[in-house]
Amino acid sequence: MERLAYQQLLSWKTSIRRKPLLLQGARQVGKSYLLENFGQREFKNYHVFNFELDRRLARIFSQDFVPERILTELSLHLSGKIDPKSDLIIFDEIQECPRAITSLKYFCEKMPALALCCAGSLLGVKLSPEPFPVGKVEFLNLYPLSFEEFLLALDEQMLLERLNSALNTGMLPEMAHVKLWERLKEYFVVGGMPEVISTYILQRKFRAEAMREARIIQAGLVESYYKDFAKHSGKLNSIHIVSVFENVPMQLSRNIEGSVKRYKFKEAIPGKRSFAELQGPITWLEKAGLLIKVKVCNRAELPLETFCKENQFKLFLFDIGLLSSMLALSPETVLHQDYGITKGYFAENFVAQEFVAAGNKQLYSWTERNSEIEYLSVVKENIIPVEVKAGSRTRAKSLQQFLIKYKPERAVKISIRPLKIKDGQVIQNIPIYLTGRIGALSG
């Protein structure tokens, strides 16, 4: 399965200032597969050391952090020679061996020619009791497959070519628009988790059955996350984390009209009604990469962070397929509805996912008096309002109020309408399936 992050791995390989690379992401987003595929295609040999599968590996790091000795013992463990000049070393599930994380500092300093990649869960690495090698590691985050990566997995080359041409022409043929909309609704069911997508593709000729199989895999993934909660947080905390995790889809689905509202603390855990009481579980899930937080600004001026309150934000799920699965929405329901105003939360969740996958580390929205804009994007010190309209009703009163007050150079309106961009026009209408390309389309 092709991932766009592969190009970043290639850039890392050829960099003259290469440091050990840490590939982070939520569980089951394809970190191990990506690194092994990279090693197989780009190196003479690659060697995988999985600290979760083989607990004995931790002993190698217990003595000291001397890279030469560690590499020798890893070679003995393999019963084969490791060439530090031509081979790739992969430390998988590195969060299971905190001292291996610390060792990256010394590999960076003492053995800079070695190509060393690591894969670890976001939360496990952050909770490591050992000192983190600050400044000695490069980071790359991996997320569920974006919609563009989903099209790659489906081998939709013609549609992808049309998307690329749209960046230059600002227009898409009507038939391409119809096909992309159909594929997007498939993505709303299947989502971006690699195991779900691969299962779906294998049986796609029988789409209804393939989607039912996808739902089974998604349910299993959610259960595996629950086990991770207990493993990393303890029994009592895990109960609260599960409650918040399950509550986010429920709150999203109650946004019947208009934009998704701020997260309500009193609905998640019985007896707990404030941000202070829920801050722990929310932060835990956010750091684990399972929730996307969108901060609410009351003014659209830089720096945006100044105009946000700690206890005012929206929460979205990290994968649209798991969202529809956790809400027990049948594939038929998702495919046959038109994503009008009653399903605006689906559109907003998808947009949040695409923005995060495109490299936006912190998302913001805007609320002022009776006006609200779903997202604010900062491009070259300019704030671009991004209005999300899920249905065909695309009149945006809040956007007009924003334009009058802040006079942005550019504004974006995301909807289900076809792409049509005109030079010199402030408001650009972009179809929702092109969310990941907004940076290129909006300048």
The sheet carrying 115-121 orders its strands as 46-50, 88-92, 115-121, 21-25, 138-141
Residue-wise pLDDT tens digits, 312-341: 999 999 999 999 999 999 999 888 876 554
In this predicted structure, the answer to whether residue 124 has a pLDDT above a threshold of 70 is no
In the chain, how many H helices and how many E strands? 18, 12
- Cα 435 to Cα 175: distance, rounded to the nearest angstrom: 19
pLDDT at 370: 86
Cα–Cα distance for residue pair 349/259, rounded to 1 Å: 11
**Pick from 218-232, 320-334, 381-395, 419-433: least confident:** 381-395
Q: What is the DSSP string of 310-327?
A: EEEEEEEES-HHHHHHHT
Average pLDDT over residues 115-122: 91
Summarize pLDDT for 191-246 with one digit per residue, the tens.
999 999 999 999 999 999 999 999 999 999 999 999 888 877 776 688 999 999 99
Q: Which pLDDT does position 170 carry in this prediction?
A: 84
Contacts of 370 (CB under 8 A, 6+ apart): none
Phi, psi of 133 (to 5 degrees): -75, 75
CA distance 373 to 296: 10
At residue 155, the 3 state secondary structure works out as coil
- Rounded CA-CA distance 349/323 in Å is 9
- The gap from C-alpha 402 to its chain's centroid, in whole angstroms, comes to 28
Which residues lie below 8 Å from residue 420, measured CB to CB, with a gap of 6+? 170, 171, 429
Q: Where are the domains of the chain?
A: 6-141, 147-442
Residue 443 has pLDDT above 90, yes or no: no
Q: State whether CATH 3.30.420.250 applies to domain 6-141.
A: no
Q: How many residues does the structure list for the chain?
A: 443
Q: Is the dihedral of CA 321, 322, 323, 329 positive or negative?
A: positive
pLDDT of 32 > 80? The answer is: yes
Segment 281-296 shows an average pLDDT of: 95
Residue 182 CB: number of other CB atoms within 10 A? 12
**Residue 151 confidence (pLDDT) above 90:** yes
Per-residue confidence (pLDDT) for residue 394, from 0 to 100: 47
Q: Dump pLDDT digits (tens) for 33-65.
A: 999 999 999 999 999 999 999 999 999 999 999
In this structure, is the dihedral angle defined by the CA atoms of residues 81, 83, 84 and 90, taken in order, positive or negative?
negative
Query: Is the pLDDT at 291 greater than 50, yes or no?
Result: yes
The predicted pLDDT at position 235 comes to: 64
Residues 382, 408 contacting (CB under 8 angstroms): yes
Q: What are the backbone dihedrals phi and psi of residue 270, each rounded to the nearest 5 degrees, phi first?
A: -55, 130
* Per-residue model confidence (pLDDT) at position 256: 67
Q: Does residue 17 carry a pLDDT above 90?
A: yes
The mean pLDDT value of the chain amounts to 91
pLDDT, position 425: 87
According to the model, what pLDDT value does residue 128 have?
64
Work out whether strand 363-368 and strand 291-297 pair parallel, antiparallel, or are unpaired. parallel
Residue 138 pLDDT > 70 = yes
pLDDT of the residue at 361: 86
Side chain identity at residue 433, one-letter code: Y
Residues 6+ apart with CB under 8 A from 395: none
